[in-house]
Amino acid sequence: MPVITLDGHRLEVPAGKTIIEAAYENGLQIPHFCWHPALSVAGNCRMCLVEVGLPRRRPDGSLELDAEGQPLIAFLPKLQIACATPVADGMVVNTKSERAVQAQQAVMEFLLINHPLDCPICDEAGQCKLQEYAFRYSRRVSRFQEEKVHKPKRIIWGPGVIFDAERCILCSRCIRFANEIAKQPVLTFVERNDRVTIELYPGTEFDSPYSMNVIELCPVGALTSRDFRFQARVWEMSFTDSICPGCARGCNIRIGVHHNEILRLEPRRNLHVNQYWMCDEGRLTQYGFVNHNRVNGPQLRRTATGQLEPTTWEEAYEAVAAALRRYKPTEIAIIGSGRLTNEDAYAVVKFARTVLRTPHLDFPRRDDPYFGDDFLRCRDRNPNTVGVLEIGLKPAAGGLSLAELPEQVRYGSVRCLYIVEEDPAALSPELQQALEDAEMVIVHASNYSSTTAHAHIVLATTTYAELEGTYTNIQRRVQLLRPAVATKERPRFQGMAMSRWDKFGAWNDRWAHGPQRDCRQTWQHLREIARRLGTTWKWSRSEEVFQELAHEIPSFAGMTYELLEAYGGIVLGKGRSPDPVPPLRYESHVLKP
Amino acid sequence: MNIQQNTEAQRMSFWERLYLPEIVRGLSITFRQMFKPKFTRQYPEERWEPLGSYRGYPVLVLDEDGERCVACGLCSRVCPALAIEVQAGETEREKERYPVKFEINMLRCIYCGFCEEVCPEEAIVMSKGYELVFEDREAAIFSKEQLLVPIEQLQDRLEFLRRYK
């Protein structure tokens, strides 16, 4: 393998890699705008100019050595771009030498000539490459006295993306993304010289299902999200690593929270799963239900009024336990969900088998052939189908499947429906009829839905953003979710990501907390109900449920939350020998407060 | 502990110990002051107008085109007391961002002037206002409408900033 020296660091790099890849694979940095590891190399921003030298050789191929026995280095007369220069054995690269620094400063000055410097208005401020490099690599003063070139602002590119041509530094990342990743080649450079700008081909729209990834990809604030625009500054938000619950892919995401409300989701690097991307559908639809229409606290339907009315947890659990005691095991059917975390699914299965002893246990599949594609989106819209099945959330011997259930409810052989984080009434008219026919409907729900409209008891449950747990994606990779939104049960200071306002706001600041719902995770509900039915489970945290699950179910053996976090998820059955993390650790969009 | 030496009484001279001459001397000072110019004033009938360098409570500048603030949030970020809350929104104006909500909690404000110093638009300045009286905590949170002050009333401060900032 070629050995290169980069700023004095000796790196062993596989042949064929470029200098910038070698740097990022070894935790070093080279300033750049247009290079991105997942895109082709354009080499047009010139920010990654570095000084490159090769050892001097005699005609017979031997190295020329200096007086101290070190090889003499012949530096190339001109600087090279690190993104397009492959490594060679003995190569010496300087990114901090006088010539390289001069080039970086010149490029920065050049890029800033026509950049509007409207950082106070721009959404990118705080995570902008140009802003950061202006501090790190520019001379910090401009010699440009003339009028800046004005270009169109607020051009709508598509349903998700809005373009500001003045801020654009013409790195062409979005063009390459559209061509290579989104496979919707609608963008191109037009004009010449300082009037160059990016335009859509006439009559087209950038509406690919992955179009909004260009927002993170854009090194400046030229491309902003129409959904998020101006809602908060990045430094006012806290960011939590989590998993998108939108489909079985389980794209790694970062949840941006402000005043305890989710304002945006953005993709997070995981080269095993989603690389650097996520789909627009996931980004736009998977946070609204966390903020709105939430069940807050346990609710009981009063016979007097026929309405769901808030009650205490104690009373609600007693009511559930009393209701479950009234029926024979075979009269109770549990409808689980593919949206349950592995921990919650484990608790549901354990509850069904050891506490209720009912064989009727199933969950609805969400198959959407129109959603699936050959990139990230999966037709299975449940985020944890694989995990839930692996744990055994399926009808036991003699148990009813979901399709057979409505008939048995109508005949009265199943009289109590126990629905866990699912909305069967919305799925089929038969199931809706079954809910109407059932004598007793107990629902764990995070949001009001057509199912809670039929429920006799509703236990308020966390959404994916409020719990700690794991999902198993379609590639059988178990991935960790961390709580991003505080609840009454779990206040923010208990280990969640915090913004400055979360940290230092006082209890009486009316903005400091935001709405905090009174909701609990499904395994917590089941633990309480199981205790009232005579079985004690000693779980106090999700991690303890996961430990038991990893102990009980062979394919999860060896997994812990620490390992899941460190390896970016572990494939089922590989708990003791996880796939190594790819060395290229690159973030295109990072908050630097 | 009882101090027996070098007490006040021991240090006094004979004339001081006589008491009455000292009273007369003291009263003569009081009497002389009555004919000298006064430094106090009859507040609130007579009010004091501070100079441009005075840091009263912060206000927002309202110029001909409306408010200058673009809701960048830097004042909120820099405020050591977390007194400022800004919520931005989008407008059709050339500067596409504006504050939907701009609130300063005057009970929290410590008049440090960092918000004024950090403001890239010269939109928040320290006013000459020093009279802050509230009947409850909610009233101490000034809304954008309460904070906006026409630019003519802030000329002294803007002049001071231009010269010394």
Tens of pLDDT, residues B19-38: 999 999 999 999 999 999 98
Neighbouring C-beta atoms of residue A76, cutoff 10 Å: 11
Tokens read off for A448: 């009001």
Encoded tokens for A445: 């729900």
- Give pLDDT, residue A62: 86
Q: Which residue of A has its CA nearest to B108?
A: A509
Instruction: Report CB contact under 8 Å: A121, B95.
Output: yes
Q: Give me the pLDDT at residue B1, please.
A: 62
Q: How far apart, in whole angstroms, are the C-alpha atoms of residue A232 and residue A237?
A: 7
Residues A55 and A52: their CA atoms lie apart, in Å, by 10
A121 CA to chain B: closest CA distance, Å? Answer: 6
Least confident of A359-363, A524-528, B64-68: B64-68
Write the pLDDT tens digit of every residue in A50-103.
999 999 988 988 888 888 888 899 999 999 999 999 999 999 999 999 999 999
Residue ranges of domains in chain B, CATH in brackets: 58-164 (3.30.70.3270)
Average pLDDT, integer, range A469-497:
93
Amino acid A316: pLDDT: 96
How far B42 CA sits from the closest chain A CA (Å)? 38
A–B interface: beta-carbon pairs under 8 A? 46
Q: Measured between CB atoms, does A498 come within 8 Å of chain B?
A: no
Look at B82 and A153 and tell me if their CB atoms are within 8 Å: no
Contact B77 A500 (CB under 8 A): yes
- For the segment A385-394, the average pLDDT, to the nearest whole number, is 95
| pLDDT for res A64 | 86
Mean of pLDDT values over B119-138: 93
Contacts of A504 in chain B (CB under 8 A): 82
The average pLDDT across A432-437 equals 94
Task: List chain A residues with CB under 8 Å of B70.
Answer: 120-121
Q: How confident is the model at residue A494 (pLDDT cuts 50, 70, 90)?
A: confident
Q: What is the pLDDT of residue A592?
A: 65
* Closest residue to A120, CB basis, from B74, B87, B105: B74
Cβ–Cβ contact A99 with B under 8 A: no
pLDDT at B38: 86
Kindly state whether residue A560 falls inside one of the protein's structural domains. no
Cross-chain Cβ contact B137/A508 below 8 Å:
yes
Number of domains composing chain A: 1
pLDDT, tens digit (0-9, with 9 covering 90-100), for A168-204: 999 999 999 999 999 999 999 999 988 999 999 999 9
How confident is the model at residue B3, as a pLDDT? Answer: 67
Closest in B70, B137, B141 to A121, CB measured: B70
**pTM of this structure:** 0.90
Q: How confident is the model at residue A141, as a pLDDT?
A: 87
The helix/strand/coil state of A353 is helix
Instruction: Give the rounded percent of residues in chain A with a pLDDT score beyond 90.
Output: 88
In a domain, A548, yes or no: no
pLDDT for A68:
87
Give the model's confidence band at A128: pLDDT under 50 very low, under 70 low, under 90 confident, else very high.
very high
| Look-up of token digits 């299902």 | A209
- In this prediction, residue A589 carries a pLDDT of 74
CATH number of the domain where residue A23 is located: 3.10.20.740
Name every chain B residue with its beta carbon within 8 A of the beta carbon of A505.
82
Q: Does B72 touch chain A (CB under 8 A)?
A: yes
Q: Give the residue from chain A lying closest to B105, CA to CA.
A: A509
Residue A593 has pLDDT above 60, yes or no: no
pLDDT above 70 as % of chain A = 99
Residues of chain B found within 8 Å of residue A154, distances taken between Cβ atoms: 96
Domain membership flag for residue A80: yes
**Residue with more model confidence, A297 or A592:** A297
pLDDT band at residue A205 using 50, 70 and 90 as cut-offs: very high
Report, as an integer, the average pLDDT of A215-225.
Answer: 95
Q: Which one of B77, B85, B97 has the shortest CB-CB distance to A230?
A: B97
Task: Tell me the mean pLDDT in the region A158-166.
Answer: 95
Residue A538 lies in a domain: no
| Distance of alpha carbon A200 from alpha carbon A189, whole angstroms | 9
| Alpha carbons A266 and A18: distance in angstroms, whole number | 28
Per residue in A17-45, pLDDT tens? 999 999 999 999 999 999 999 999 999 99
B120 and A120 within 8 Å at the Cβ level: the answer is yes
What residue numbers bound the domain in which A107 lies?
3-113
- What would the 3-class secondary structure string for A195-223 be? HCEEEECCCCCCCCCCCCHHHHHCCCCCE
- Whether A459 and A525 have beta carbons less than 8 Å apart is answered as yes
DSSP string of A390-450, one letter each residue: HHT-S--TTPPPTTTHHHHHHHTS--EEEEES--GGGT-HHHHHHHHH-SEEEEEESB--T
Residue A67 within a domain:
yes
pLDDT band per the 50, 70, 90 thresholds, residue A487: very high
Cβ contact A298:A319 at 8 Å: no
Asked if A505's CB is within 8 angstroms of B96's CB, the reply is: no
Beta-ladder partners of A93: A6, A52
pLDDT digits (tens, 9 = 90+) for A504-548: 887 777 666 678 899 999 999 999 999 999 999 999 999 999 999
pLDDT of residue A506: 77
pLDDT tens-digit map of A267-308 = 999 999 999 999 999 999 999 999 999 999 999 999 889 899
- Give one DSSP letter per residue of A239-260, joined into a string: EEEEE--SSTT--EEEEEEETT
pLDDT of residue A378: 95
> Chain B partners of A510 at a C-beta cutoff of 8 Å?
141
What Cα–Cα distance (Å) separates residue A236 from each residue in A212, A278, A401?
22, 23, 48
Q: Which of A153, A235, A501 sits opposite B82 (nearest CB)?
A: A501
Structure token digits, residue A350? 């354990």
Q: Do A153 and B85 touch (CB under 8 A)?
A: no
Q: A500 — contact with chain B (CB < 8 Å)?
A: yes
Partners of residue A119 in chain B, C-beta under 8 Å? 72, 120
Residue A54 lies in a domain: yes
B91 shares contact with chain A (CB less than 8 Å): no
pLDDT computed for residue A512 by the predictor: 62
Instruction: Chain B: give the shortest CA distance to residue A237, in Å.
Output: 12
CA-wise closest residue to B72 among A222, A169, A235: A235
Q: Does B84 touch chain A (CB under 8 A)?
A: no
Which distant-in-sequence residues (6+ apart) come within 8 Å of A486 by Cβ? A260, A466, A492, A496, A513, A516
Please tell me if residue B73 touches chain A, with a CB cutoff of 8 Å: yes
Residue A326: inside a domain, yes or no?
A: no
B70·A154 Cβ contact <8 A: no
Sign of the Cα pseudo-torsion (A180, A184, A185, A191, in order): negative
- pLDDT for A510: 67
Task: Calculate the average pLDDT of chain A.
Answer: 93
The arithmetic mean of pLDDT across residues A358-362, rounded, is 95
Whether the pLDDT of residue A469 is over 70: the answer is yes
Alpha-carbon torsion (A381, A386, A387, A388), positive or negative? positive
Euclidean distance between CA atoms A417 and A360, whole angstroms = 10
pLDDT computed for residue A95 by the predictor: 95
